[in-house]
Amino acid sequence: MIEMTNVYKKYPNGIVAANGIDVAIKQGEFVYVVGPSGAGKSTFIKMMYREERSTSGTIVVNGMNLATLKNKNVPYLRRQIGVVFQDFKLLPRLNVYENVAFALEVIEESPKIIRKKVMDVLELVGLKNKARMFPTELSGGEQQRVSIARSIVNTPKLVIADEPTGNLDPETSWEIMNIFEEINSRGTTIVMATHNREIVNTIRHRVIVVEGGLITRDEYGGDYGYEG
Ligand SMILES: Nc1ncnc2c1ncn2[C@@H]1O[C@H](COP(=O)(O)OP(=O)(O)O)[C@@H](O)[C@H]1O
Ligand SMILES: [Mg+2]
């Protein structure tokens, strides 16, 4: 479902953040992206949902060629991909329910369908009873649950997460990982950048190591490995 061929990315400041990346990720995989800070992990995954454009090379996601995808068609791509960030990025003036419903309202679903879908995903992340609360009234772990609910409410085939446990304590991080495991077990592809060595070494999945804009290791069931 994701295929990158000889992908190169140079930012306007001259920094090369991807220096010839080749990778193929199949539907249903769970992939950790690890490596030191500044290695190019975020750039690698941002190119998958066209937050960043590659300078050269080919990127195909869900059958769409992102190199030639017109800007007006980017929202169509984004609807097929859920994205989860380290800092949650919830809308502070909207309550939990509204934060999750927002993703559906912009595509004009009927109110009845919206209600059903939102309550179903809030149940999955264990927040059905906090639907009317606002982000500031929630713990970090709860905010991340909302952001995960938002990312899957459109039932995307792919969820991309950039250090989703980076702001959370170890126990909360495990709870968040269990939710990603559940989502993956239902067939959704997960691509997750992380610095969490303990999680990577315990819940084994494919590990892609990025260093200096290159994939230096790609191993199914691999360990975190790198020191630092
Ligand atoms: N928008 C940007 N403009 C210029 N340089 C950037 C930008 N984003 C990232 N970089 C640079 O690209 C390199 C890779 O960054 P990034 O992909 O964020 O790495 P990581 O997520 O592994 O920490 C770094 O040197 C970083 O400073
Ligand atoms: Mg990053």
**Is the beta carbon of 143 within 6 A of some atom in ligand 1?**
no
Residue 228 has pLDDT above 60, yes or no: no
- Which tens digits make up the pLDDT trace of 142-154? 999 999 999 999 9
- Set out the domains of the chain in order of their start, with CATH numbers: 2-80+156-219 (3.40.50.300)
Q: For residue 162, which ligand has an atom nearest its CA? A: 2
Q: Residues 173-204: pLDDT tens digits?
A: 999 999 999 999 999 999 999 999 999 999 99
Give pLDDT, residue 104. Answer: 83
What's the confidence (pLDDT) of residue 35?
96
Local structure of 42: helix, strand or coil: helix
Looking at ligand 1, which residue's alpha carbon is closest to its atom 8? Answer: 43
Q: With contact defined as beta carbons under 8 Å apart, do 84 and 164 qualify? A: yes
> What is the 142 CA–ligand 1 centroid distance (Å)?
28
Mean pLDDT of 14-37: 98
Helix and strand totals (H; E) in the chain: 7, 10
**Strand ranges for 104-203 from DSSP E:** 158-162, 189-193
Q: What is the CA radius of gyration of the chain?
A: 17
The chain-wide mean pLDDT, for the chain, equals 95
pLDDT at 56: 97
User: Is any ligand 1 atom within 6 A of the Cβ of residue 37?
Assistant: yes
Q: Which of 31-35, 43-47, 100-104, 118-122 has the lowest mean pLDDT?
A: 100-104
Question: Residue type at 185?
Answer: S
Indicate if the pLDDT at residue 227 is higher than 70: no
pLDDT confidence of residue 163: 98
Nearest listed ligand to the Cα of residue 209? 1
Q: Does the CB atom of residue 53 touch ligand 1 within 6 A?
A: no
Ligand 1 close to Cβ of residue 41 (< 6 A)? yes
Ligand 2 center from residue 104 Cα (angstroms)? 28
Ligand 1 atom 4 nearest Cα: 11
Query: Across-strand partners of 21?
Result: 7
Amino acid 33: pLDDT: 98
Average pLDDT over residues 19-46: 98
* Residue pLDDT, tens place only, 44-100: 999 999 999 999 999 999 999 998 899 999 999 999 999 999 999 999 999 999 999
